[in-house]
């Protein structure tokens, strides 16, 4: 049973590899660095290194999967199909500080979606406040100015030096004096009538 299951898995793997067109990936050797340093490929892909620097370099797998030997300026090296899954470290055997990795996977990750921007925080709506309108101030009306009236200055009566004073008029009799005289006359008349009535009738 187990050999049959292993055979089925192997056939499925072969079919999936047959349906996939292998891709050749590129790595540039610059002055003392690999670009890109870390590369991810699918099973069956190949990798080509191109030396664009001035110094001589190599690309050598730590596991012995490939070794380019010395590569001068402009030289290239291509691996065979990479079928070993996992991450494989390689370096330049001449310059040990130069190191890179090749990661073999069955499926490449999709593009990372851009982060979703958080929704904008709503701003509080300010409550409109009524602005008090200034009350109109009454305009000062021009005060009616009363023109000062000219006070007539009495002029002294002109007295002719040549005119002489006339005779003084007699003062009119006082009314009170006349009334007193009338009362006295009436009293005398009444008194005389009484005496005559008293003694004349006897």
Rounded to whole angstroms, the Cα distance separating 107 from 104 reads 9
pTM: 0.48
pLDDT at 76 > cutoff 90: yes
Higher pLDDT pick, 19 / 106: 106
CB 98 within 8 A of CB 91: yes
CB 82 within 8 A of CB 117: no
Supply the mean pLDDT for the chain. 77
Structure tokens at 95: 């310059």
> At residue 148, what are phi and psi to the nearest 5 degrees?
-65, 130
Question: To which CATH superfamily is domain 22-105 assigned?
Answer: Cupredoxins -  blue copper proteins (2.60.40.420)
CB 87 within 8 A of CB 101: yes
Higher pLDDT pick, 201 / 19: 201
pLDDT tens string 109-163: 877 677 777 778 877 777 767 666 666 665 555 554 444 454 545 444 444 444 4
pLDDT of residue 158: 42
pLDDT tens string 1-38: 556 666 666 666 655 555 568 899 999 999 899 999 99
């Amino acid at each position: 049973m187990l050999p049959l299951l292993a055979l089925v898995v192997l056939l499925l793997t072969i079919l999936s590899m047959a349906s996939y067109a292998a891709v050749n990936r590129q790595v540039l050797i610059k002055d003392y660095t690999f670009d890109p340093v870390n590369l991810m490929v699918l099973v069956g892909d190949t990798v080509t290194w191109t030396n664009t620097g001035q110094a001589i370099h190599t690309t050598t797998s730590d596991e012995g999967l490939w070794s380019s030997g010395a590569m001068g300026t402009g030289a290239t090296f291509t691996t065979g199909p990479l079928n070993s899954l996992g991450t494989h470290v390689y370096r330049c055997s001449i310059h040990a500080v130069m190191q890179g990795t090749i990661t073999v996977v069955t499926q490449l990750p999709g593009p990372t979606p851009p982060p979703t921007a958080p929704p904008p925080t709503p701003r509080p709506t300010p409550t409109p406040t009524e602005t008090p309108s200034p009350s109109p101030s009454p305009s000062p009306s021009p005060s009616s100015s009363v023109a000062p009236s000219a006070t007539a200055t009495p002029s002294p009566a002109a007295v002719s030096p040549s005119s002489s004073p006339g005779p003084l008029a007699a003062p009119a009799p006082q009314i009170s004096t006349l009334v007193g005289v009338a009362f006295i006359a009436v009293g005398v008349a009444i008194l005389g009538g009484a005496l005559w009535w008293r003694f004349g009738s006897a």
